[in-house]
Structure 1
């Protein structure tokens, strides 16, 4: 959804006039203002209208990996805490300010509390004796109307049976599967086969507890900006915005590089994309015509797998393929049914978490072909034979 920008402050503008607006800040330096002391604030006119607004602040934490790898930051609006966080790199902090908070005062005070002050000369050979904690690059208020109504899973009309295995080439085969974690590896295997499905979790990193919570809640908060942040991930000379969904501990690639678009546009773009991909996921859950794929390098806990499978099957006969590293009893390419609509596959290698975009194992294709054949025979074999 598009967001209307009501106000934007560029903290790094040396020609800007902070008179009456800022308290507790140093002069602009290299595109930002460093906070002074342990508390800083910005006094703004109250936004017009009766609805709440969305705060978007771009911050730089002052970190020294060996001494202070993160900064503590509390963001407040009219004295009410919006966020308490520990950023370790440049971050786009989002916070929803509701109408009741706006009504607490005739103006809007945005406060920053940053107790972890570092003097470089005290912890390194630097001669810099200034105290650093948080630098702010920009702050914007966006019109944030009522939260969008979450998409829901609706019963899908019965369709024709899925194609028989022999009718599918590699690209078509990989389109029958949807990655749900725990990183980008299976998405890269699909790409290697020429398959590019639009799946919510295809290029996402997840942790088991957050992923399970997401499926149990049908990802109801997936596009709520109150649960989102962005930070900058450097890969060589490229600096990409990574989207963090805090409620579900999900990290997602945006494929948007820093500086390629205004932050306010990035926020609207990503929320719109999340809403679309959320709807497509719910359609997949309702139709139960694709096989969901989950892998974890250190092996998926059986209790988690059982709970995840139950969450998927709340909406229909959704199948789950869980992939683990091969062993002496399970050579690479082995797929075995371990329950109704639950399969376990074994692969020769999994990409390292710090290099999930590396060329995937070709065994992924073997696993998918064998799993699809088993699933099709168990689910649709009788229908095909009768026809």
Structure 2
């Protein structure tokens, strides 16, 4: 896949999966982010923001989700992990899992701090997409929650068949809405639309709207 040409330093992936993480990789951006490779829902994000992610990734709240993915049951986020599981059961002893857990928890704590700093940056744009398309009410609530805890903006990306919208960004209520022709399948998140480039470029150029 050819590289696209938009600088992504101002963008932060917040879900719902790693598709935008792969977009950033195609741009040569390997900066870590709390949710760059995670699964998240608007409800998990709103709860996390309101609680400043306190207690995120506590050992007692982790349960098997996929073979190499664990779910934080306090918030609902899913993260890649070295604590392997199979058929919903851990493969290793608690002692071994705690050994594997410690560096993962340290990384999560660091990324939470980094996330909160980004949240305060008025030039930052937090990007959310889901293959079923985020509903307007959920995007509005998420944007308002972001605004209560920082100055970053929300870019909610959707897919559409409306040719007048594809590749473009417009203000919708409290957030920016971008439109693509399609999202990557969840099983092939790196097979994303090249029109991400156009959406990101327009988002960078979009003026901030004062409520």
Deviation at 1:230, TM superposition (A): 4.2
Deviation at 1:361, TM superposition (A): 1.4
Partner residue, 1:366:
198
Superposed CA deviations along residues 174-193 of structure 1, whole A, max 9, x for unmatched, are 12100111011000110011
**Structure 1 contact 215–308 (Cα < 8 Å) conserved:** no
Structure 1 spans left out of the alignment, 5+ residues: 1-168, 234-240, 380-387
Change (3 A) 1:331 1:338: closer
Deviation at 1:329, TM superposition (A): 5.4
Q: Measure, in 2, the Cα distance between the counterparts of 1:269 and 1:174.
A: 27
Superposed CA deviations along residues 321-341 of structure 1, whole A, max 9, x for unmatched, are 01111222544211111235x
- The alignment covers a number of residue pairs equal to 196
Q: Measure, in 1, the Cα distance between the counterparts of 2:186 and 2:204.
A: 27
Q: Measure, in 1, the Cα distance between the counterparts of 2:105 and 2:111.
A: 10
Q: Secondary structure at the match of 1:294?
A: strand
Query: Which of 56, 74, 80 is equivalent to 1:222?
Result: 56
Q: Measure, in 2, the Cα distance between the counterparts of 1:270 and 1:348.
A: 36
Are 2:197 and 1:344 equivalent residues in the alignment?
A: no
Are 2:158 and 1:324 equivalent residues in the alignment?
A: yes
Higher Rg: 1
TM-score (structure 1 length as normaliser): 0.47
Structure 2 spans left out of the alignment, 5+ residues: 85-90
Partner residue, 2:72:
245
Q: Measure, in 1, the Cα distance between the counterparts of 2:58 and 2:147.
A: 25
Are 2:116 and 1:289 equivalent residues in the alignment?
A: no
RMSD of the TM alignment (CA)?
Answer: 2.2
Deviation at 1:232, TM superposition (A): 5.1
Q: Measure, in 1, the Cα distance between the counterparts of 2:164 and 2:34.
A: 31
TM-score (structure 2 length as normaliser): 0.84
**Structure 2 contact 83–97 (Cα < 8 Å) conserved:** no
Q: Measure, in 1, the Cα distance between the counterparts of 2:8 and 2:137.
A: 27
Q: Secondary structure at the match of 1:314?
A: helix
Change (3 A) 1:308 1:231: closer
Change (3 A) 1:267 1:200: same
Q: Measure, in 2, the Cα distance between the counterparts of 1:343 and 1:228.
A: 33
- Dislocated runs of 4+, deviation >4 Å: none
Partner residue, 1:27:
none
Task: Decide which structure has greater helix share.
Answer: 2
Deviation at 1:287, TM superposition (A): 2.3
Are 2:21 and 1:187 equivalent residues in the alignment?
A: yes
**Structure 1 contact 330–346 (Cα < 8 Å) conserved:** no
Partner residue, 1:118:
none
Partner residue, 1:170:
5
Answer 1 or 2: higher relative contact order, Cα 8 Å, separation at least 6. 2
Q: Secondary structure at the match of 1:322?
A: strand
Change (3 A) 1:368 1:263: same
